[in-house]
Amino acid sequence: QVMDQFLGLHETERQLSQVLGIEHCLIVSGNSDEQPKVLTEMGKLVNSTLQLLLPQGQSVVAVMGGTTMAKAAHELSTDLSKQRNLIFVPARGGIGESVDIQANAVCAEMAKQTGGKHRALYVPEQVSEKTYAPLLEEPSVQEVLKLIERSRGVLHSIGEAITMAERREMPVETIKMLKEKRAVGEAFGYFFNQQGEVVYKIPRIGLQIRDLLNIPCVLAVAGGASKAQAIQAYMHLAPKQTWLITDEGVANSILQGA
């Protein structure tokens, strides 16, 4: 019976990849909306998938923030460093999260867990575009931007548009606009509708979605049935080599609608 469940899950993974138009999906049992432990299991899969896909030698990994990434960071292991010199860098400048789940904090934790290095991108959260622009000229910022350009791996999550906009305390008018334009999801600070059309982008430096095309190891990590629509929408934008690490809550919700 265990074998049946195993094969069943593999078949579901195959179907989900097909529906989403990407090469691989990995599904953990359960629904992380209801069982936080599921996120830990997803984190373990992040570790094993990085082991499989991340090139050896010098390997820069660009990382986004959020609660999923913060949780996944704890599951990375020193095994990843055996054939690699890992450097974790924030993928984009601040997009308005609280300190403990900012990409800088996630990178520091990933470096700690793997015995690798990390760099922080010191650009403040929640500043206006005008204040932000001159900061980009700073040599320390430029150095991290160069590392981001060289990244061989990307780790990111996907969020529900309005939930993310509210959590990051975006201006009320922006949230209103996102609702009017029917934004359903958010990733990398891009907000998009159900068709995957970008309706708004937080103007920040660092990795852009189009840059993902040339990166061999791109892992999207997102679980919980509540994120199903956002994940499905993002996959219109995602490069085909993306591996989605998700849970049954998401898979069932997407496949029932397919």
Q: Does 164 bind ligand G3H (CB under 6 A)?
A: yes
Cβ closest to ligand G3H, residue 138 vs residue 166? 166
User: Considering the complex, what minimum distance in angstroms separates the CB of residue 120 from ligand G3H?
Assistant: 18
Q: Does 155 bind ligand G3H (CB under 6 A)?
A: no
| Binding window for ligand G3H (CB under 6 A); candidates: 24-32, 52-60, 102-110, 154-162 | 154-162
Cβ closest to ligand G3H, residue 164 vs residue 250? 164
Cα angle value 232/168/248 (rounded, 5°): 30
Enumerate residues 53-72 that contact ligand G3H by CB under 6 A. Answer: 64-68
Report residue 87 as tokens.
């450097």
With 0-12 / 13-18 / 19 or more C-beta atoms within 10 angstroms meaning exposed / middle / buried, residue 173 is exposed
Residue 217 neighbours by CB under 8 Å, 6+ apart: 49, 50, 53, 54, 55, 61, 152, 153, 154, 243
By CB under 6 A, name the one of 80, 165, 178, 187 that touches ligand G3H: 187
By CB under 6 A, name the one of 27, 158, 207, 220 that touches ligand G3H: 158
Q: Does 242 bind ligand G3H (CB under 6 A)?
A: no
The residue number with the shortest CB distance to ligand G3H is 66
Report residue 210 as tokens.
């189009």
How far separated are the first and last CA of the chain, in Å rounded? 27
Q: How far apart are CA 39 and CA 223, in angstroms?
A: 7
Q: Torsion over CA of 25, 31, 47 and 106, rounded to 10 degrees?
A: 120
Q: How far apart are CA 156 and CA 216, in angstroms?
A: 14
Q: Does 206 bind ligand G3H (CB under 6 A)?
A: no
Q: Are 219 and 238 in contact (CB under 8 A)?
A: no
By CB under 6 A, name the one of 17, 157, 242, 246 that touches ligand G3H: 157
User: Considering the complex, what minimum distance in angstroms separates the CB of residue 132 from ligand G3H?
Assistant: 19
Q: Does 186 bind ligand G3H (CB under 6 A)?
A: yes
Cβ closest to ligand G3H, residue 87 vs residue 187? 187
Count of residues near ligand G3H by CB under 6 A: 11
Cβ closest to ligand G3H, residue 84 vs residue 156? 156
User: Considering the complex, what minimum distance in angstroms separates the CB of residue 100 from ligand G3H?
Assistant: 11
H and E: helices and strands count for the chain: 10, 11
Q: How far apart are CA 168 and CA 251, in angstroms?
A: 27
User: Considering the complex, what minimum distance in angstroms separates the CB of residue 67 from ligand G3H?
Assistant: 3
Interface residues with ligand G3H (CB under 6 A)?
64-68, 157-159, 164, 186-187
